[in-house]
Structure 1
Amino acid sequence: MGFEVGRFEGGVDEELICPICSGVLEDPLQAPQCEHAFCGACIREWLSRQQTCPVDRSVVTPAHLKPVPRIMRNMLSKLHIRCENAAFGCSAVLRLDLLPAHINECEHNPKRPVPCEQGCGLIIPKDEVRSHNCVRDLRVMVLQQQQKISDLEKLTAENKQQLTDQKREIQLLKEYMRALRISNPGTRVQEQPSEQNEVLAWVSSLQPARVTRWGGMISTPDAVLQAVIKRSLIESGCPPAVVGSLIENSHERKWPPGLSTLETRQMNRRYYENYVTKRVPSKQAVVVMACDNQHMSDDMIVEPGLVMIFAHGVEDM
């Protein structure tokens, strides 16, 4: 709804009057073809019932609406308006563009937030001070907070259940695949190509390593650092089929859920010592291969493995 015309000092140009509410335009929007302007709230409510211009009945949809020209916004901002709290004693007359800031600070505003004078600490609208009861309103606030906590706990429980169900489905799928391999040896041979034997042989050739400073883990290595590690992997005899995957998995966007964020990494630090890690030759980096870490949970390892790069703290065992 627009501003009451009677609140303004001097005349108001007809172009600044909303054809729907007959008030001075508030948050105005314009129809693109006919260029008629309306209060934003007025035209949206109108178009929710019929998608035509209220003035000339041309077709208009909410998506067609656009802001009014700058010259019209400037004309509106220069109008002088009386404060809406004039009935409560405010005598201020100010430019329309300054009105919102004034309303927030107006001492005559009955809805201005004020602290409770009885010491309960609540901030309440000025016109509710007389009816305010500290104990009652604090009790209402406590009940509201308890409801919010209950809703959050319910949502968390639902998310945990979904995660549990997903893990159960993954485990059932793994057991099904294992049963298929046992019952069909031919299939098992096909799923264990010579490339996998090459990976196992390469992993066995690497020097076991120990990470002493997990806090030095680099979660987002730059391209140059990744290129250096990739060259070292290739020189160590890493099968070409897995080099690309290992380097791609050196970035946290490809890490398993247990490492994917700083929060989860901090929570799971106690599990890090269970990793079987192999040194990337001559580098402050290790490979954590799935074939070496089958004892780890699914949220701590990815296939075929990942490279962890450190600023410091990698030692040979």
Structure 2
Amino acid sequence: MGYDVLRFPEEVDEELMCVICGGVLEDPVMVAACEHCFCKKCIGFWLARQKTCPVDRGVLGDDNLKNVPRIMRNMLSRLTLTCEFKQQGCEAIIGLDALMAHQEECDFNPKKLVECEEGCGAVIPKDEIVNHSCVRELASIVKMQTAQIEQLVQNNNEYKVKIENLENDVTILKEFIRSLKRQNIPRLEIMQQCIERNEITSWAESLNFAKVSRWGGIISTPDVVLQTVIKRALIDTSCPLSIADELMENAHERRWPVGLWTLETRQIHRHRYEDYVVRRIRGKQAILIMHFENRHMGDDLITQPGIVIIFAHGIEDAD
């Protein structure tokens, strides 16, 4: 649904408004044939009922929609409006392109995550602090960790067998490589690359899937100290040394693909982030987006061998 026009201090051009909801376009898409623009959610609800353009009634299907032109995105990004939490006391006037980031961190946002000051260290929404209990929180953590320990013990023998089998396979392949070296077989380099790819794939798949609850918490320019901490965490997960340095170089926005280069481009592509296959770097507020698991994202949102993204908060293991 679009943004309420009353939130904008200046008059908004009609071309930037959705005829379905009457609000300023939010996450807009355009009909390829007639170039009419609508909020993505609005046109989605509309097409669920009838397959026609709301303006000219031309035949319309989901596959006839595309992204709006850059000039329209730029015009929208230059608009300013009040914060969603104005009634709670926020008096900020923010550019539309920075709205989501502001509202996530807004002090008047009842769902802003804050750390418990009573000692348990839990990070919870502000409006839940009044009902928060450190004892209950810690008891929940103990229960969860106990269950995880029991699960690990249960799977321990199975993991040992898998690891032993993998180690045997690697030993056999390495011996085969040594044999090929002695025979000077031309395809040796290709075989070595295949083994390295298998090692990388096995390592990445050993990491837990991650859940990102706050994409606005990205640290796009981590300093050397933070990068060192994350690299050590990578190595502790048995990350192949052949890619550890390259992955950490890809932890800075200057090495990210074009779709993640700037705050503006990240806002534009934010609705696509849920399509990433994401792994968590154990124990850290950081994720790993490997190229081989994300070929569906396209070259504008993924690069070789993968991307490391560090967050201030909002990362946990997926269920």
Q: TM-score, normalised by structure 1?
A: 0.49
Task: Mark the structure with the bigger radius of gyration.
Answer: 1
Q: TM-score, normalised by structure 2?
A: 0.49
